[in-house]
Structures are given as structure tokens and as C-alpha cells.
Amino acid sequence: MELKTEGYRLHNISPLFLFIEAVKKMVLPLLFGIIGTSGDRQDMIIIGIAAFASIITIVQFWFYHYWLEDDRLVVKEGILFKSLRQVPYERIQNLNIERNLLHKFFKVGTLQVESASGVKPEAVIRVVADEQIKHIQKVIKDKGVVHQQKVAMDPGSSSVTLEDAVVDEPKPMYQMSNKDVTIYGFISHKALVPIGVVGSVLSQNDFYRQKFFNLVQKFVGDLHIEQWGLTEWLIYGAIFVFVMLVSIWLSSIALAFLKLYQFKISKVGKDLYAEMGLLTKITANIPIKRIQLLKIKHSPLHRYFKKVSVKMETAGGVTEQSGITMKWIAPLVSKFKGQQLIAAIQPEVDWGKIQWLRLEARAWKRVFKRMMLLILIPMLPLVYFYHWMGLMPLLLSPMVYWYAKAYMNKSGYAVNDQIVAYRHGVFFHTISIVKIAKIQNISYLQTPFDRRNGMARLTVDTAGSNPVTQDINLHYINQDTVELLMNQLSNKVSRSKFVW
Amino acid sequence: MKTFSFKSLEKNYLKVFRISSVIGVLLISLPFTVGSSVSLDLTWPLRVLVYISFVILFYGFVHWYSVYWFKAYQYQLTEAGLDIHKGVFWKQQNMVPRNRVQHIDITTGPLERRFDLSKLVVHTAGTRNATITLPGLLHVDAVELRQELINTNQTEDTV
């Protein structure tokens, strides 16, 4: 196929956004490092180099071209090391658009194209005009569909409805009210980690720690810490904890609003279309057939509000660091509505047919022993130093017993012709569901402990799965059952074709 | 569609495994020798003797272990796909369905080349277990197995 060499250029305002992005990625982390450390001259030199490098990045604007072929998106970039990237439309997993206040002011947006490969997005087009984005979206959508139909040799169904849907604002299948966003922010405690990081960095630095103490003393008067008795410590400690909690809650809610304000998700033809965000607005297009795994999660706080979170995993490992991510189906939704949503997204699965099976009941002893080990090992030095007083942690054993029993009760798995599902977690409960057709390979694992108890573990791997948390990980099941399951599953997977 | 039931790896791969483990044994014996020499205040000839005995001790363990390791390492090709069993203490079975194979590499190390052996690396679109390796195949067998897996793999979009 012959390729054009010239295509669309980026919007004229792009250098500004390229510069901002470079500054975000290079200079800010360094500045943060300096606050945390000494701020010597060599640090300033490094910052200077980083700033210079950020300015250089602007130059790439003149070397960035992209164009839309019949069946693929082509991106040409690079100054010294040129690259030409071709992404067939039907391989595009997600199409995400980001717009913050600055974008809105210039009527532009950042477009991110994701395929199933790698950690980095396939192409980030920073930035293009709004009309151009609409054009690209439409082309990718229409041509992707047309191409698929050609491949499937199925000219019967038409793509007319899809075209209309892109133009019209579809009726959302789920949207978040401000109250939902507030509750979600409260539940998530998202600000806990950033506040903790900032706090610990600042407390490492003598200068800032002193400054902080001075500020507090100016505000509430001299505290005379050296004269405090137990009651004062308790009172001030409680006040401190309370203030911290409230500020974590408030900032978590603020973060939730920034991210999820007016969250809306709708089903447009064969795609999911989502938008969200207060200052930075993100819109995402996810082909439903690209969804690899569905997850329903709830924590104790979720249960208090009688809500769950519904997430999905798509192929391709773009993380929050490497690009725009969209993993939500519904951040906060009632359990019933959540099930309805999933059923609406994947109507081909018979959700009523799922039968949950228990793990081996006798495995509670193994959970009990494992948890007790976690108590007994730290107890050893306690016993050494405090003698019989060090045995106090043993009082926790009834709790551990309860936990082990609860672990068995809350866990379960389900396998049928369409899906594999696993649920687990006493406090933080997760239900993960994978369609058989999305399974890539199947593993069986048996540790020496498993063997002693005649048990084994079954895991399946999918394209979008998180490498850290293994979502489908059927543990504490009889060896024979696992072997049987493995045979059944591999036969089912090898027979399952991709007809959508 | 070709199938075969459980096969062991090539006998020569046991040799390759043992030879390549020697380097590890030589390295691991070092800290043990230094530790015991310092704590027992040994003279040089004794130190060398201690080193050699540690090497023999550890190699003996590896030699003994490798017998069971080799026995446990088996693979079969079913209609569903490639099934690999391995592990002595931690037992593991990996199953790659035929139609989920993305691509297959064959690699050969310098030591393996001497014995005309190759390693089959099967890639799937998964994340955690995306690549599954099967070492210790005769080069011709590896090529044949690759061809078989690729031939029966329907040209479909598996993601």
C-alpha cells in the first residue's frame, strides 16, 4: 500500500501543551526532590538541564504528522529518530480524549489511541482542534465497523445507527449525581496516600518541620509539649487524628469531584462511551468486545452506604502514569443497578445461570494457621522482652478463627460455558468475571502445603489483567476438581471462537 | 491435527541443566567459605579444602534434585493445546490453547547448541503468564512443534 508522506499537523497551539507536558514530567519531580532534600547548586543545574530539555520537546511539533488511511491511522514523528506508526482501526482498543481548562480555552483536546499492546498508548496526539477530533472519531468508528463487516462478510447489518449515535447525545445507562461523587470520595480515601507522602517528605526536612511547628504555635499559642501529661497527649492526639481524618476526607472528596464530576457512561452501538471530570474532562470510547474482565468491588464503607463499584479491564497496559486511563463502569452504584449494568453491557451472557461453588470447607484451618503465623512471628521478640505479657497477642485468636471462617464463607467460584468467576475478600470483597473467550492461558499450581491437604490452585490469564493482583485465582480447591476444571476450561477455550 | 501424550525432555538437557548450575554452585559456595573461614580462623590450604567441599555438597544437592526435576518436567500436545507439567516441590501446569498462540520463538544457547537442543518460547496475549517456555527439545522437534501449533492456530483476533 502506498502511503502519503504529508498529513494533518498538530494544532498551532500544540507547542504550549507539549511544553506543559514536558515540564510536568521532568521539572516538577525534580523540584519536589529538592524540597525534600538540600537544594544545592548541583540540583539547580539538573533542573536547568531539565528545563532546557523541556523547551527542546516543543520542536517535535514541527515533525509530527498524522493521517487517516482507508483502514488505519498513521502517525509519523521524530526529529533524529523517525518513527512511522500504523494502527489499523479495528485494532484500536480505546479512544480517549482529555480536555482541561486550557484545552477548553483554545477549543482543542488531547487524543489518545490505545491498542492491545504495551504499557504506552499507541499514539498520543497532543493537541488537535475540537472539530478535528470529531472528524477523527467518526472516521475511526465508521471505518473500523465497515472493515469488521467486510472481514465477517456480513453485509446485512448497516452502520447507519452508529453514525447517528455519534452525533446525538445518547441516553446514559449510568450517571453519577453530586451526592454519589461525594460519597465515593469519602469511601475512596484517595487523598490518604498523597497527604502521607507530602507529610513524610516534609517531616524529613528540618527546615520545613520547624516552620510547621512555628505555624501551629502561632495559631494555637505555645503548647509547652515538655509539660504534657498523659491526658494532654490523649486529648491533643485525638484532636490531631480528627483533624487529619477530616482533611483527608475533604481532600478525597475534592479529588473525586476533579476526576468523576458528572460521570456518565452510555452504550452506543457496540461501544461504551464515557465522560467525566471537572477541570480536566476526559471522554473515552471503549469497544465492548474489547472488555477482558469485569469486577465488582465493595469495602466496609461501600456496604455501609449499600453500594458497590463496578470496574472493567481492557487489553493494553496503559497506567495512570503513561496515559489517560478509563477503567470505570460505575464508580458507585447500588448492587442491583450494578448487576443490571453488567447485564446490559454483556447481554450474551446468561447471568442467571451462574452457580457459585464454595471452596473446600476444611481449608479454613489453613487460613487460620497462616494468619496465626503472622501473629506468632512478631510475638517471639515480645515474649523474649516481656515474658508472659508478650503472650497478649494470643487473645486475637478468636478473631483469627472468625476471619478464617468468614474467608471461606465469602469466597467462591463459578465456571460455566460462558464465564469463569471468582469472588474473595472478607473486608474488601471483589467479584471478578472473565468470559471463556477472553482466557489466554490456564495454569495449575500446587505448593507443598497444598499437596499435604490434597488441594491446588487454578489461575487464568487474560490480556488486560493486572500483573499484581491476580483476579481469577481459585485457591483451596481439591486437586482432582482443579484438574477436572483445567481440562474442561482448556477444551472450552480452544473451542471458543470470536464471533461477536 | 497432531497430538501426543506426555513426553520427557531430551536426556541431554539434564546435562545442560547440570553444567549450567555449576556456575551458580561455584558462586554460592563463596560466601559460605568466607563465612566459615573467618569464624573458624582457617589457614589458606584449609580454606580451599572447605570451598571444594562446599562445592561438592551443593552440587550433590543439585545433582540429586535435578533427577526429580527432570522427571517432573513433561509436556503433551492435546487437541486443545500445549500442556506443560513441571516442578518438584512447587508443582505447576501450564496450558496454552492452540488458538491463543500469538507467536513462537525458538532460542538456542551456546551450551544447548552443542547438544543440538532448543528452547521453545510460546507467546500469548496474556499479561502475567504471557510467555511460556519449553526447554530441552531437539531442534528439529522444536521446529516441528512450532509448525504444528502455528498451523492449527486459526487466524483470528484473539484479543
| pLDDT tens profile A113-131 | 887 766 677 788 888 888 8
Q: What tens digit of pLDDT does each residue of A394-413 get?
A: 899 999 999 999 999 999 99
Best mutation target, A490, A491, A499, A500, to test chain B (most B CBs within 10 A): A490
User: Span A80-86, mean pLDDT?
Assistant: 83
Give the sign of the dihedral formed by CA A363, CA A369, CA A374, CA A375: positive
Give me the pLDDT at residue A167, please: 45
Burial A330-365 (b: 16+ CB within 10 A, else e): bbbbeeeebeebbeebbeebeeeeeeeeebbeebbe
Contact A445 B91 (CB under 8 A): yes
- Interface ipTM > 0.85: yes
Chain A residues in contact with B126 by the CB 8 A cut-off are: 440-441, 461-463, 465
Q: Is A379 exposed, middle or buried (0-12, 13-18, 19+ CB in 10 A)?
A: middle
CA distance B130 to A38: 44
CA distance B159 to chain A (A): 7
Between the CA atoms of B72, B76, B82 and B87, what dihedral angle is there, to the nearest 10 degrees? 0
Give the number of residues written for chain A: 500
Angle in degrees, CA A163, A167, A169, rounded to 5: 120
For the record, the C-alpha cell of A192 comes out as 490518604
Mean pLDDT of B51-66: 95
What average pLDDT does range A313-331 have in this prediction?
A: 75
CB A276 within 8 A of CB A261: yes
Q: What is the DSSP letter of A23?
A: I
- pLDDT confidence of residue A3: 47
Contact indicator for B122, B133 with CB cutoff of 8 Å = yes
Residue with cell 480505546: A94
CA distance A149 to A395: 66
Cβ-based interface (< 8 Å): residues of B facing A: 78-81, 83, 87, 89-100, 124-130, 132, 154, 156-159
Give the confidence band of A316 by pLDDT, cuts at 50, 70, 90. Answer: low
Chain B residue with the nearest C-alpha to that of A488: B80
- Mean pLDDT value of segment A267-283: 87
Report which of residues B35 and A50 the model is more confident about. Answer: B35
Is the pLDDT reported for residue B22 higher than 50? yes
Interatomic CA distance for residues A347 and A89, integer angstroms: 25
Confidence of residue B20 (pLDDT cuts 50, 70, 90): very high
Contact predicate A403/A268, CB 8 Å:
no
pLDDT-derived band at A155 (thresholds 50, 70, 90) equals: very low
CA distance linking residue A164 with residue A6, whole number of Å: 31
Distance CA A326, CA A262 (A): 15
The whole-number pLDDT of residue A22 equals 79
Q: Quick check: A9 pLDDT over 50?
A: yes
pTM of the model: 0.80
More confident residue, A217 or A88: A88
Q: Does A461 contact B96 at a Cβ distance shorter than 8 Å? A: no
